[in-house]
Structure 1
Amino acid sequence: MNIKAGLWQQQTLKLTMTQELSQAIALLQYSAQELTAFLENKALENPLIQIESGSVQPMNPLVDRHRRSHQKSEKDWIEQIGAKHVSVEEQLISQLNLKMLTADQLKVIRHLIHNLDENGYFTGDFNHIAASLNIPEEMVEDGLAVIQTLEPAGIGARNLQECLLIQMEYEKPENELAIKILSDYFIPFAERKWKQIAKELQVTLKDIQGVFDEIQLLDPKPGALLMPESSAYIIPDVIIEQTNTGLTVRMVDDPIPKVVFNDRYYRKFKDQDQQVNRFLQEKLQDYQWILKSIEQRKDTLIKVVSKIVEKQTAFFQKGPHFLEPMTMKEIAADLEIHESTVSRAVREKYAQTPIGTFPLKSFFSSTIQTVSDDENTSSTQVKNSIKKLIDQENKEKPLSDQDIVEQLKTLEGIVVSRRTIAKYRDQLRIPSSSKRKRFI
């Protein structure tokens, strides 16, 4: 074996992930909000970039760099009028008769309120709180008892059992059976060991079922009622419209600011020394790459959505039940692009359609085999069929997963395994047949 040290030339082909390519990939997967934030940051880094958004004046990084935080605080000031939120502590304290409480008692109650989680449960420790406030532990327990008398019922409970029990005693004090079950049989009741409970309490399964129905009406997270709700808005990235010539696709460009070249700055400094000129050339190239990446993002998104519309025409014209099986791999093959490109293009993006606004990802579903060799169905359609069968089942004898398998094959020609039914049922948040069983 001849081993020698030396220099050789070798020609190879390989794909290098340049900064520009990485940037183009990132822009493709950005949502409108993420892309706006990216462009704003770029405008701060690159003096050749200005951004415009509707009636907003161009952003000059040299002038506005230090004003950005101040402008942000003033933005949409009209919408903030009347948007004052009342804290959880204020909502609870307002229910107390302060004249009946001493200063120390009020101090303890305020401290306990700060130990409530977002669901309204008390998560503190009596010993620790008593030691930190230098008061008897009984005083802490009394303070929590006061909180548990406030609304919403169940606030200040230490666990789910106590939360439901407080609500039942407050709302249905005459329902002694429900209170007894929640107090002494909570775990067996939750595990649906109803026959055992019925035998020990000498009641019928119908009575137990009635208690279950009553408890279902209670709120396991009472603290959520005290939390301020913020409105969530979805701005679609594309609009799919029904016209006389068929379905059309157009981009929604309004949320994305327009990138403008700062020609004044460029002309002012372009004849400076070599170092300044090199800096300007780098920033000019960065500006050009951003424009190209934004245009490529728009072009790719339009192509992907247009192909989705082509394959899901029945969905847009007739409704969600007509969703055809379609994978990202199929779209990628038709457009001759990589599957990951399709995945990035539809990430965190929404389409406004004639039947509502949907995430682009919702149009993709796996293919399920049917009895007919020339037909397939989508996983979404299978889930809809499962839900329909369970809605129509005899609740005294609910369908098992195997029963659903057989009925799907017999009634709709859909071939799925019992394990698939269990998985889809879990995704639909439908309990098993044993937990769906009713005794009335």
Structure 2
Amino acid sequence: MDMKAGLMQKQTLKLAMTQELTQAIALLQYSAQELAAFLEAKSMENPLLQVDFKNITHLDSNMDRTRKTTKRTFDRDQKNLIEQIGSGESETLEEFLHSQLNSLKASPEEKVILPVLIENIDENGYLNLDRDDLIRRFGVDEEILDCAFFKLQTLDPAGIAAKDLQECLLIQLTRQRRTPGNQLAITIISDYFLLFAEKKWKALAKMLQVEMKDIQKVHDEIQKLNPRPGASFQREKPAYIVPDVVVRREGDELSVGVYDALIPKVSFNDGYYRELSRHKDQEVNKFLQEKQGDYQWIRRSLEQRKETLLKVSMKIIEKQPDFFLKGPAYLNPMTMREVADELEIHESTVSRTVREKYMQTPTGTYELKAFFTSSIQTTENDQASSQKVKAAIEHYIKEEDKRKPISDQSLVELLKEQEGMVVSRRTVAKYRDQLGIPSSSKRKRFD
């Protein structure tokens, strides 16, 4: 090989990541709230940039404020309405417990201990303090401390001040009416809690010399208890979102529009510009040119962001007509690369465009990224979306005989024979877990 040292020219084309390009990419992926915050910060450093926030204080009366969920029911909406009406100051768990102390018979020592215990109950209603530390702190006998704990646990809500879930359930069971079933439940939770929780019911039934249906009844009763007795006092305001894109349907026709009610209006401060332009100072002119260019870049970036969001949304509708016309069960497999290729943009641009953005449809509000799903091979050499497979799994499990629940392998066979979907048992198990559905052994009933 002949290797010689020398000089040579080579012409290459490279994309330089300028500050403006970096900011443009960031602008594309901003959510409406992030974009509003960005524009506010920009207006503080650029006097030529006027940002009007008035338009975001009032929403279009035709626009529904929607919870971050894709499944809503009328009953739940009614409940949310009631929560909004009564959204004033509500009583806290600590206040509620303190209000019951007046009617509680307690010794002078207990009256000192009880308020301290109440202050240390967590938001779920549990109390887990070191008893030895409390005995030293208050200088009392263990018996007095135990009495204070017991009296606190007699207060409402039932199950309050337990150290763990087992004790919480026991407190609630012991306050119920005494019946044979109740006594069996107390015995099981008290002495066989782990066996019961792990659903090793056959061994448990043999040890207690009862039938499986009796343990099933105990399980049903336990399901009615409250594992977090203090949670009902948490009054967090429900989180709402305003969609970035709105799809409307008229017959079989679909239309889409970008909804930018949360994005402030941007305008040029012409009066400030004219006033400063009168100065002949070179530094002032340089400053004006820089800020004017910054303003123009922001205007272009906002328009490009809106245009890209609209193009991607239109492509989603074009490729997913059955979803919008027939329902979520008809979501077809679609990848970001596929959309990017058809729009002749980079895949990362699609990814940034759909980040933390939502689409309001006639059937609910969805994250834009939820429309991109993997494909599953079918017996007809066609493609089905993972969402369709999940919907089918959920349907079969809902309709199954709970005394003989369908195994994952049986679901594999059903999906292939009835739906034409070819999936592995491992995939079925993964989708079932994502749906929050337990295994067949844990779904089985004995009555």
1:243-322 equivalences in 2 (<5 Å): 243=250, 246-270=253-277, 271=279, 273-322=281-330
- Match for 1:118: what amino acid? E
SS state of the match for residue 365, structure 1?
A: coil
Residues 106 and 277 (structure 1), Cα distance of their counterparts in 2 relative to 1, 3 Å cut: farther
**Structure 2 residue 23 is matched with structure 1 residue 16:** no
- Match for 2:45: what amino acid? E
Match of residue 93 from structure 2: 88
- Does structure 1 conserve the Cα–Cα contact (< 8 Å) formed by 2:258 and 2:310? yes
- Match for 1:328: what amino acid? M
- Cα deviation, 1:105-154, whole Å, max 9, x if unaligned, reads 44533322332233222233223344455555555444333332222222
How many angstroms apart in 1 are the aligned matches of 2:113 and 2:268? 61
Q: TM-score, normalised by structure 2?
A: 0.86
How many angstroms apart in 1 are the aligned matches of 2:141 and 2:346? 68
- Cα deviation, 1:253-287, whole Å, max 9, x if unaligned, reads 22111012222222222325222332232222222
- Match for 1:179: what amino acid? I
Counterpart of 1:122 (choices 99, 114, 127) is: 127
1:325-364 equivalences in 2 (<5 Å): 325-364=333-372
Match of residue 386 from structure 1: 393
The offset of 1:160, in angstroms, is 1.0
- Match for 1:203: what amino acid? V
How many angstroms apart in 1 are the aligned matches of 2:269 and 2:139? 65
How many angstroms apart in 1 are the aligned matches of 2:198 and 2:351? 42
The offset of 1:172, in angstroms, is 4.7
- Does structure 2 conserve the Cα–Cα contact (< 8 Å) formed by 1:47 and 1:265? yes
- Does structure 2 conserve the Cα–Cα contact (< 8 Å) formed by 1:390 and 1:399? yes
Aligned residues: 417
Q: TM-score, normalised by structure 1?
A: 0.87
Match of residue 223 from structure 2: 216
- Match for 1:319: what amino acid? G
Match of residue 47 from structure 1: 47
Match of residue 150 from structure 2: 145
1:53-72 equivalences in 2 (<5 Å): 53-54=53-54
Match of residue 65 from structure 1: none
- Does structure 2 conserve the Cα–Cα contact (< 8 Å) formed by 1:152 and 1:225? no
- Does structure 1 conserve the Cα–Cα contact (< 8 Å) formed by 2:43 and 2:50? yes
In structure 2, runs of 5+ residues without a counterpart are: 58-83
SS state of the match for residue 154, structure 1?
A: coil
Residues 278 and 325 (structure 1), Cα distance of their counterparts in 2 relative to 1, 3 Å cut: same
**Structure 2 residue 30 is matched with structure 1 residue 30:** yes
Report the identity percentage. 56
- Does structure 2 conserve the Cα–Cα contact (< 8 Å) formed by 1:89 and 1:110? no
The offset of 1:333, in angstroms, is 1.4
The offset of 1:422, in angstroms, is 0.6
Match of residue 63 from structure 2: none
The offset of 1:243, in angstroms, is 3.0
Residues 435 and 35 (structure 1), Cα distance of their counterparts in 2 relative to 1, 3 Å cut: same
How many angstroms apart in 2 are the aligned matches of 1:376 and 1:265? 59
- Does structure 1 conserve the Cα–Cα contact (< 8 Å) formed by 2:335 and 2:373? yes
- Match for 1:293: what amino acid? S
SS state of the match for residue 159, structure 2?
A: coil
RMSD over equivalenced CA pairs, Å: 2.6
SS state of the match for residue 95, structure 1?
A: helix
- Does structure 2 conserve the Cα–Cα contact (< 8 Å) formed by 1:54 and 1:254? no
Counterpart of 1:108 (choices 83, 88, 113) is: 113
- Match for 2:354: what amino acid? V
Match of residue 402 from structure 2: 395
How many angstroms apart in 2 are the aligned matches of 1:106 and 1:42? 58
How many angstroms apart in 2 are the aligned matches of 1:56 and 1:393? 49
- Does structure 2 conserve the Cα–Cα contact (< 8 Å) formed by 1:205 and 1:439? yes
Match of residue 63 from structure 1: none
- Does structure 1 conserve the Cα–Cα contact (< 8 Å) formed by 2:324 and 2:363? yes
